[in-house]
Structures are given as C-alpha cells and as structure tokens.
Amino acid sequence: MAKQRFWIACLALIALSIYLFVSAPPPLEEKKAADAAIPVERMFEILKAENDVVRTMWTKEVVGAGKQTGLKFDESWRDPDVEAGPLPALFLRETAKSLEKNPTPLSLFLGSDYPVNSANRFEGLQLEKFQVVKQTLKPQFFFMPDIQMRVAMFSDVAIVEGCIQCHNKHEQSPKHDWKLNDVMGATTWMYPSESVSIDELLRTLAALRQGFKEAYESYLEKARKFANPPGIGEHWPAEGYFLPSSEVFMGEIAKRTAPQTLAALSSLASKPQSGSATSKEEGSHVIAR
Amino acid sequence: MRAKTGGARKWQNRAYVTGVCFGTAILAFTVFPVGEWFHAKGPMNTGHGKLACAACHKNAPGSFRQQIQANLRHAFDRRDMPTPFFGRLPVGNADCLACHERPNDRHPVYRFLEPRFSQAREKLRPHQCVSCHAEHRGRRVTLAETGYCVNCHKDTRLKKDPIDVPHADLIAGKQWDSCLGCHDFHGNHIMQVEKSVDKRMPAEKIRAYFDGGPSPYGTTLRYKAKQDGQ
C-alpha cells in the first residue's frame, strides 16, 4: 500500500510539473531593474523644463495677451456663471489633475509660503526645502518614506507684472509686496522610483503633455459656451479675440520644447537602457501595503 | 489489508459520489455570481448594492498557472522577482475613481500625497479612499469621528469671513464638529451654505448620513457617480 501511495504521489507531481512548466503558457513578463537607468532627478529636470515653457506661454501669450483683447481669467473659472479661463496657477492645477488620471505615477503640485489659497501653504519638510530653494534657487531632491516617493522641488518665479499685480491686489493674499523675479512658490514633483528607463521617461513625458492638452481642452470646452465665444483655430489672443485650437496649442508646445527636450533625450539615449516600468496602480498599492 | 465486502464497497462508492457532488456544488456556489453575497466580507456600502465583485476586484496579470509558475521560478532562482499580486489585484483609489472621479472634488485623494500632508497621512490616511469609505461595512462613511478637519485646517484664516461667528473663533474654540454642519467634504452637493453658525446641521444628522441615512446637504448633485466605471 505504501508503495502504491508513493507512485500515486510521483505521478501527481509529474502531472503538476507538466501542468505548470511543460504545457504552461509563456512566463509572465518580468520587470527588471535597469542596468543603466536614468536617475529620476534627471527626469524631473526634463519635465520641469517642459512645464516652464508651457507656464510662460500660458502666462504671457494666453492670459497676458488675452486680457488685452477681451478674454477673462478668474480663480472661479469653473463656476457655471463665470465666463473666464484658468489663471496660471489654476492651469497648472488642471494639468496636475489630468496627470493623476493617467496611469503614469507622476504627481505635480504648486505651493508657496505665502499662497493666495491657504490650502497651498508649505509646511514641515516641504517648507524647509522651499526655504533652501528660495535662498539658492537650486532644485531640492528628497525622499518621502511614508509614501515611498522621490520628490523634486523647483522654484516658481514671478515672470511678468501680471503675476505680482494679481497676488499683491488679491484680498486673500497674505503678502502684498511681491516684486518681479521673486520666488513666489515652488512646483513639487513626485515619482515612486529612484531611476527610470528611457521608455518610462518617454511615457512620463507623454503623460505630462497629455496633462497640458486636457487642461487646455477643458478651457476650450468652457470658452465655446461663452455668450460671445472667441474664435478658436489658428490665431492667438495677441491677434484679437481668439484662442488657438488644441492642435495649434500643442503644436506650439512641441515646437518650443523640442530643442531642449530632444537634446536631453539624445544625451540619455546614448547609454543603453532597460525597462523598470512602474504604474500609478502599483504606486498606490505600495502605499496600501 | 483485508478486502472490503461488496456491501461496504457499495457504501464507499456512494460516499465518494456524494462528496464529489457536494464539493462541485460548493465550488459552483463560490465561483458563479449567484453566490457572491455569500463570500463577500460584509454588506455593501450605501449605493454599492448592485455592484458585482469584479467591478472592484480585478484579476492580477496572467493566469493562475502563470502566477504559480513565476513564483516557483523565483523560488528556484530562475526569476528576479515573484509576481507582485496573486489571483486578484488589491483594490485601490483608481478603482473608486473609475466611478467617483469628478472635476469639482474639493478634497481629491491625490492632494494628500503632497509632502506637507505627512502628519495628516499619519493620523487619517486621507490619501486613500478606503480610509474613510472602507467597503463591506453597509455604511456610507466608515470614519467614526466628524471633527477630522482639525488635521489640516488649524491654521486656516479667511480675510473676508462671510459667517456670523468667524472661522477663526470656531478654530480657536476647537469646534471641529461644526465644520461638516455647513461644508460637504467632497463638495458635490449643490447647496446654499448657511451664514449663521446656529443654523448649521446638527452632528446627529451628519452621523446618520455617514451611517447611510438621507443626505443633510440636499439631493441635488453636481456629478453623479458613473455606473461600473462607464
């Protein structure tokens, strides 16, 4: 009887091995650690440079020029009875919101030590790092252990008169003596891994561009419903009561960011990279665990 | 060993057949949708009664066989990493937001991922939907306390305060239970906010709402939840 049981066990083990290995489907794809990965700090710098271009374009050529030709921009732009577009900080927030919907685990925030909205005031470690950014104008990179996130902080500088005028006049602003080129705040970027592959970097860059696109399209959607909608197409606000179409807006971003982004990508691509893909879901599961 | 008699063998076979039928029935009951209520951890939360298990509990990548294979390969040093998830994926914010994501959310979960909210994360874990809306409890909000605003709003100051008792006084008096009497946390109800603190909704009504009762903020919503993420 013992011999019989031994043979039954052997047969069962052979059958299980055949089931699992011989007749098994292809092995699950494995995410390998990158051999020559790109430090996440480098990715943050590329993303920040893209954001700077868009932020300047939005501030000067959409909000600044638009105000001269009849377009309105307001902090309550989302309210149904307000016919306006998002101010620069709110355009960035719209972009950040779109990023959160994207599976790429990149997060973006804007804050300050003297924000108009007190909910955006830096505290704790973020305030400490911001003080260094303010004094040195150099980005700060650090790690948040509780959420397992790599963080980068970059200065956000008053680039046009409109920024300081609006913040100085705003009744909820805690500071009324902003000057041109002051560090008014900082952008905070977060990503869960310390290094990324070139594929991952490109996906993240695409996600950021998608964020710009969705933020702009949400404004266009609103502008189309104005009692007197602006002409949407090839023209920009500097040419009159117009807004560029989504394609024209994104085309201009691609054109202006291309020199620096392509140069940065080419220098990184000269080294061989392998994948270390991470998704937003995995990021949130890390937190959940 | 002594050979079994004909009668004993007959009963043994009947026991085998009964066991197999019984096992198959239990298996069918646990696998098919008809038995979902049986193996759920508890009653579904308010508004989730019609959701199927698979609406939130998604399959992990690969088949069971591939997952077992990957983990065995890892055990025998033939693979760098085991599969991160086996069977089903854990339920995360993305599953909730597939139906509940809205552009007007006053407190979207991702905002609490910002480094400056580390203390709030430690106390309340507001960066995860399930911290306040744990599923399978048969309620709407599972957080017991109503004064949780204290975790982030201790320093809130309004220059033009529209209410009769200034927010600064309410904060100084630590009246954190009063916040939800006027403010809907996620801001999805179309409502007129009271200007008199005395006219705020009583805490009992808020708690009843948490428990699945009628909304004290009215029934007109800015955005309705999508059905099954559609």
Give the span between the Cα atoms of A206 and A185, in whole angstroms: 25
Same domain, B196 and B127: yes
Does B118 contact A144 at a Cβ distance shorter than 8 Å? Answer: yes
Question: Which of residues 241 through 270 in chain A touch B, CB cutoff 8 A?
Answer: none
Chain B residues touching residue A105 (CB < 8 angstroms): none
Give the span between the Cα atoms of B116 and A24, in whole angstroms: 48
Does B65 reside within a domain? Answer: no
Query: A171 to chain B nearest CA, in Å?
Result: 7
Residue A273, pLDDT score:
47
DSSP letters of B178-228? GGGGT--TT--B--PPPSSGGGSPPHHHHHHHHTT---TT-S-BSSPPPGG
Does B120 reside within a domain? Answer: yes
pLDDT of residue A131 exceeding 90: yes
Domain that holds residue B5: 1-31
Of A20, A78, A118, the CB nearest to B155: A118
Does B47 reside within a domain? Answer: no
Q: A284 and B127 in contact (C-beta within 8 Å)?
A: no
Does B182 reside within a domain? Answer: yes
Chain A residues touching residue B103 (CB < 8 angstroms): 78, 97, 218
Same domain, B26 and B126: no
Residues of chain B with pLDDT under 50: none
Question: Which of residues 3 through 42 in chain A touch B, CB cutoff 8 A?
Answer: 19-21, 24-28, 30-33
- For residues A224 and A172, which has the higher predicted lDDT (pLDDT)? A224
Task: Using the CB atoms, write b or e for B70-85: b if 16+ within 10 Å.
Answer: bbebeeeeebeebbbb
Residue A1, pLDDT score:
64
Contact with chain A for residue B94, Cβ under 8 A: yes
pLDDT grade, residue A276 (50/70/90)?
very low
pLDDT grade, residue A183 (50/70/90)?
very high
Residue A286, pLDDT score:
40
**ipTM of the complex, rounded to two decimals:** 0.70
pLDDT grade, residue A33 (50/70/90)?
low
Residue B193, pLDDT score:
86
- Residue indicated by tokens 């700090």: A41
Same domain, B212 and B109: yes
Does B115 contact A151 at a Cβ distance shorter than 8 Å? Answer: yes
Does B225 reside within a domain? Answer: yes
pLDDT grade, residue A284 (50/70/90)?
very low
Residue A43, pLDDT score:
96
Helical packing angle, A40-57 and A246-269, nearest 10°: 150
Question: Which of residues 1 through 20 in chain B touch A, CB cutoff 8 A?
Answer: 1
| SS3 category, B25 | helix
Same domain, B100 and B183: yes
pLDDT in tens, A82-107: 999 999 999 999 999 999 888 899 99
Does B57 reside within a domain? Answer: no
Does A285 contact B92 at a Cβ distance shorter than 8 Å? Answer: yes
Residues belonging to chain A: 289
Q: A55 and A92 in contact (C-beta within 8 Å)?
A: yes
Task: Kindly report the average pLDDT of chain A as a whole number.
Answer: 88
Residue A161, pLDDT score:
86
| pTM (2 d.p.) | 0.78
Residue of B nearest to A33 (CA): B80
Q: φ and ψ at A110, to 5 degrees? A: -125, 135
Residue B1, pLDDT score:
52
Task: Count how many domains chain B has.
Answer: 2
Give the span between the Cα atoms of A157 and A134, in whole angstroms: 10
Of B63, B83, B92, the CB nearest to A284: B92
pLDDT in tens, A216-259: 999 999 999 999 999 999 999 999 999 999 999 999 999 999 99
